[in-house]
Amino acid sequence: MTVQVSAEAVPVGGVEEPRRLSVLGSTGSIGCSTLDIVGHHPDRFEIVSLVGNSNIGLLAEQARRFNAEVAVTADPDRYGELKDALEGSGVEVAAGPQAVVEAAVRPTSQVMAAVVGAAGLEPTLAAVRNGTTVALANKECLVCAGELFMDEVDRSAATLVPVDSEHNAIFQVLDTRNTDQIERIILTASGGPFRTWTREQIANASLDDALNHPNWSMGRKITIDSATMMNKGLELIEAFHLFPASLDQLEVLVHPQSVIHSMVEYRDGSVLAQLGTPDMRTPISYALAWPGRISTPSPRLRLEEVAELNFERVDDIRFPSVSLCREALKTGKNAPTILNAANEVAVAEFLSKRLSFLDIVRVVEETLSDANRTGLQCELRSIDDVFQSDEYGRRRAKEIADGLRP
């Protein structure tokens, strides 16, 4: 399975009519950055649907500013609050999971899929089945349901453009005409806030420590995933499904400057890399304008100021998450689905200060081990299988986390 490329796609600069864009997860970090880009190019985009969750004030503000056709909160209990906030605006209001799916399939040129976590799977699948261009910022779609998701992309002839900085970088430098010439795909990782900490120091890390990322400004969940390096393991699984490479051809290198976002090495020894400042508006703008490019307010890269670029191997003792994800991918079946569900629960427990930092990965390991021991690993033949595996992973991870509390 590979990323879909549409020969008929036209660069934004060559389109007379603005692109109709829906943003799923508009109040999150990626969603806000997406709308920042749209705000810099108001003549190039029309906002169709905006989908948020609990930040009703921001969702209403966005809907008014961009004159959205519809604003949707995933929380059905917040419908009245959103309706009141948009009174007199002319913006349609809806609420609940089904309304989110309906927002995803409104007639549009493109959907930014930026709902965080497994909750983004159903609306993103709906957008894919609608045959639209999907800018994919939700890595869990591929982690939880990789083959099933990519089969739907193939079946519907949808176009998938990755938004994650690493996968977007690979997308930019991947020679789709000669994929048999790929030798390695190298995902880079900043190393997070604990790159130079000892395991003993990491064991005593506080929530504030873990949220203090040295380079990137991101949402809380992905910032914790960066601190454990689970994000890089999840991205490894995502890359396996997106690009024409075997697991053995996928590598991770720690690159603390976060200047090179990923690389592709070819059989002739050439290594092509995409470079830029650590600002998500760059890959977002590329995804929105693909196959063209548009300007962004991102700071420009000045290599003379960077001065040096360093690379390190991942320390599997201090950061076992990458190896754990690689093993889950080797195991196959529903192991990645269970892994992702357990990680979401464990991170939420840590963010609520009910779990220690090192126990995040411990919860994931024990959940996977229990699934293997009890014979609950199974093939994913339908999306219902994905949801059932996700539910099991969440339930078991919560039980394990509860048992680890002091």
Ramachandran assignment for 375, one of left (phi > 0), alpha (psi -120 to 50 degrees), beta (any other): left
Contact 324, 364 (CB under 8 A): yes
- H/E run at residue 48: strand 45-52
Please state whether beta strands 260-266 and 271-275 pair in parallel, antiparallel, or not at all (unpaired). Answer: antiparallel
Domains in the chain with CATH codes? 12-163 (3.40.50.720), 176-279+301-324 (no CATH), 332-406 (1.10.1740.10)
297, amino acid identity: P
- Write out the chain's pLDDT in tens, 406 residues: 345 443 334 444 444 589 999 999 999 999 999 999 999 999 999 999 999 999 999 999 999 999 999 999 999 999 999 999 999 999 999 999 999 999 999 999 999 999 988 789 999 999 999 999 999 998 889 999 999 999 999 999 999 999 999 999 999 999 989 899 999 999 999 999 999 999 999 999 999 999 998 887 778 888 999 999 999 999 999 999 999 999 999 999 999 999 999 999 999 999 999 999 999 999 999 999 999 999 999 999 999 998 899 999 999 999 999 999 999 999 999 999 999 999 999 999 999 999 999 999 999 999 999 998 887 888 999 999 999 999 999 999 999 999 987 6
Write the CB contacts of 192 (distance below 8 Å, at least 6 apart in sequence): 213, 214, 226, 227, 228, 229
C-alpha 389/C-alpha 376 separation (Å) is 8
The predicted structure's pLDDT at residue 16: 55
Q: What are the phi and psi torsion angles at 62 (to 5°)?
A: -65, -45
- For 51, 119, 302, 392, the CA distances from 395, given in Å and listed in that order, are 27, 16, 48, 5
What does the block give as tokens for 211? 């949220």
Closest to 179 (Cα-Cα) out of 3, 335, 331, 33: 3
- E strand spans, 267-356: 271-275, 312-313
What does the block give as tokens for 128? 């894919």
Which DSSP symbol is given to 28? S
Closest to 23 (Cα-Cα) out of 90, 115, 94, 102: 115
For the chain, the residue count is 406
Number of Cβ within a 10 Å radius of residue 120: 24
Contact 84, 29 (CB under 8 A): no
C-alpha 126/C-alpha 190 separation (Å) is 33
> Locate tokens 């490894």: which residue?
236
- E strand spans, 56-199: 70-73, 92-95, 110-113, 133-136, 159-162, 182-189
What does the block give as tokens for 260? 């090179």
Sheet architecture: strand order including 182-189: 271-275, 260-266, 182-189, 250-254, 312-313
C-alpha 238/C-alpha 394 separation (Å) is 20
Packing angle of the helix pair 220-228, 230-242 (nearest 10 deg): 100
346, amino acid identity: A
The predicted structure's pLDDT at residue 406: 63
The predicted structure's pLDDT at residue 88: 96
Contact 35, 26 (CB under 8 A): yes
Contact 207, 353 (CB under 8 A): yes
Instruction: Tell me the DSSP string of 214-276.
Output: SS----HHHHHHHHHTHHHHHHHHHHHHHSS--GGGEEEEE-TT--EEEEEEETTS-EEEEE-
